C-alpha cells in the first residue's frame, strides 16, 4: 500500500555552518601537531588542494585537487589563459572560499609562478603556486 496525503510542505530549514577545525600539518617537520581552525585551516586546505594532482589519488574525490601538471606540454598562450581558470575552479570547490582574485603570472623558462588572493569568510590572504610549463 502506498501512503497518500502525507505531503509535508512549507518546512523551514536552516543551513548550519560547519566548523573548519582540522589537524594542523607541520610540513617542515612532516608531522601532525595539534589542531587548527579558521583562516589557518583554510590556508592549509588551499596549500593541499594546489599540491594535490586531481584524478591521481583514489582517496580523493574528483572535485579535489588541481590540474596544474597537465599544462606542461601546452603553448605559453594556452597556459596563460588556462592557469587562472584551473586554480579558481580547484579552490572554489571548497565552500569556505568565496572568490579568487588578483592573479599575477610570471613565466621563466619551464616554470610559471602564479600569485593570487584568496577571499574567504574568515578573511583574505595571498598565495603562490608554481607550475611546470
Under DSSP, the state recorded for 84 is: H
Provide φ and ψ at 65, rounded to 5°. 105, 180
How do residues 43-77 score in pLDDT, each as one tens digit? 999 999 999 988 888 999 888 989 887 566 667 77
Residue 126 has pLDDT above 90, yes or no: yes
The residue with greater pLDDT, 115 or 13, is 115
What pLDDT, on the 0 to 100 scale, is given for residue 14? 78
Domain ranges of the chain: 22-132
Contacts from 75-80 at CB under 8 Å and sequence distance 24+? Answer: 76/107, 76/133, 79/107, 79/112, 79/131, 79/133, 80/105, 80/107
Give the global pTM: 0.80
Mean pLDDT across the chain: 86
How do residues 84-114 score in pLDDT, each as one tens digit? 999 999 999 999 999 999 999 988 877 889 9
- Give the three-state DSSP class for 18: coil
How do residues 62-71 score in pLDDT, each as one tens digit? 889 898 875 6
- The percentage of residues in the chain with a pLDDT greater than 90, rounded to a whole number, is 53
The residue with greater pLDDT, 15 or 32, is 32
C-alpha cell at 98: 568565496
What is the third-level CATH fold of 22-132?
Nuclear Transport Factor 2; Chain: A, (3.10.450)
Amino acid at each position: 500500500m502506498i501512503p497518500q496525503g502525507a505531503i509535508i510542505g512549507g518546512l523551514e530549514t536552516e543551513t548550519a555552518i560547519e566548523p573548519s577545525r582540522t589537524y594542523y600539518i607541520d610540513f617542515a617537520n612532516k608531522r601532525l601537531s595539534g589542531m587548527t581552525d579558521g583562516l589557518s585551516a583554510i590556508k592549509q586546505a588551499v596549500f593541499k588542494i594546489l599540491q594535490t594532482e586531481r584524478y591521481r589519488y583514489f582517496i580523493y574525490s574528483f572535485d579535489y585537487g588541481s590540474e596544474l601538471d597537465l599544462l606542461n606540454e601546452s603553448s605559453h598562450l594556452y597556459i596563460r589563459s588556462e592557469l587562472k581558470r584551473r586554480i579558481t575552479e580547484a579552490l572554489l570547490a571548497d565552500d569556505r572560499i568565496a572568490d579568487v582574485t588578483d592573479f599575477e603570472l610570471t613565466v621563466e623558462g619551464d616554470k610559471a609562478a602564479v600569485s593570487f588572493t584568496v577571499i574567504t569568510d574568515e578573511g583574505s590572504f595571498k598565495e603562490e603556486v608554481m607550475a611546470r610549463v
